[in-house]
Amino acid sequence: NAGVTQTPKFQVLKTGQSMTLQCAQDMNHEYMSWYRQDPGMGLRLIHYSVGAGITDQGEVPNGYNVSRSTTEDFPLRLLSAAPSQTSVYFCASTDRDREDGYTFGSGTRLTVV
Amino acid sequence: GESVGLHLPTLSVQEGDNSIINCAYSNSASDYFIWYKQESGKGPQFIIDIRSNMDKRQGQRVTVLLNKTVKHLSLQIAATQPGDSAVYFCAENSQGYKLSFGAGTTVTVRA
């Protein structure tokens, strides 16, 4: 089924470790973005991309890096994990006309100990 | 900064009744609004959207109303069912393709 695929679904990291959260979409969407969701809160934008080779910062970008080498993939890198980065991470994509909103992946639940 | 917020964090509804979930936004430049449903352990699921040039839009059992004068958005769910129990978020789209979310309203349907 077409959609947004996120891997892994769960991850536990030690403080200081690095890792990459993967996001892939097969809908040929130009726009992709990463959000984090903390308990009892809405989603907050980390980084977004309006096309291959173009990325920009969102509301909470510190501690995260992104790149967009292809239309399909938009990985999120944690450079040196901190307990404050414990959260659920969602990737989303949409087309140029934002038809039917943004499609979200099922999320990656990250715990940093 | 400007943000989107929901009026009530929780809403309890009798099965079969209509539900109304409210949302206030503050960015007058927002041109696109979306309602999402999120069930436990899942990602946000698109319900319905509305653009700023519209006042009302209807879907299957759902209606979104937009009042730009008072910067208010609402989601109406007709004949609420147990499967409607979830957290509902409104989101506004401004500054290109950035989405800003409210904190969410937890809807509980009573049998």
For the segment B67-87, what is each residue's pLDDT rounded down to a tens digit? 999 999 999 999 999 999 999
According to the model, what pLDDT value does residue B7 have? 64
Contact A58/B at CB under 8 A? yes
* Cα A19 to Cα A81, A85, B23, distances in angstroms: 8, 12, 36
Tokens encoding A85:
């980065």
According to the model, what pLDDT value does residue A73 have? 97
According to the model, what pLDDT value does residue B4 have? 57
Check B46 against A94: CB less than 8 A apart: no
The mean pLDDT value of chain B amounts to: 90
More confident residue, B96 or A46: A46
Residues of B in contact with A106 (CB under 8 A): 42-43
Burial category of B97 from C-beta neighbours within 10 Å (exposed 0-12, middle 13-18, buried 19 and up)? buried
Query: Taking 60 as the threshold, does the pLDDT of residue B90 lie above it?
Result: yes
Q: What is the mean pLDDT of residues A24-43?
A: 92
Residues of B in contact with A33 (CB under 8 A): 97-99
pLDDT band for B2, please (50, 70, 90 cuts). Answer: very low
Q: Are residues A92 and A32 in contact, defined by beta-carbon separation less than 8 angstroms?
A: yes
Residues of A in contact with B34 (CB under 8 A): 101-102
The gap from C-alpha A82 to its chain's centroid, in whole angstroms, comes to 17
What's the rounded Cα separation, in Å, for the pair A46 and A63?
10
Check B45 against A50: CB less than 8 A apart: no
DSSP A85: G
Best of B6, B99, B106 to mutate (most A CBs within 10 Å, chain A): B99
Query: Which run of H or of E encompasses B74?
Result: strand B72-77
Tokens encoding B6:
């929901």
Contact B94/A at CB under 8 A? no
B39-67 residue pLDDT tens: 998 999 999 999 999 999 999 999 999 99
Nearest chain B CA: its distance from A66 CA (Å):
16
pLDDT > 70: what percent of chain B? 93
A83-103 residue pLDDT tens: 999 999 999 999 888 777 899
- The residue among B94, B4, B105, B88 whose CA lies nearest residue B48 is B88
Question: How does DSSP assign B27-56, residue by residue?
Answer: -TT--EEEEEEE-TTS--EEEEEEETT-SE
What's the rounded Cα separation, in Å, for the pair A108 and A88?
6
Check B101 against A33: CB less than 8 A apart: no
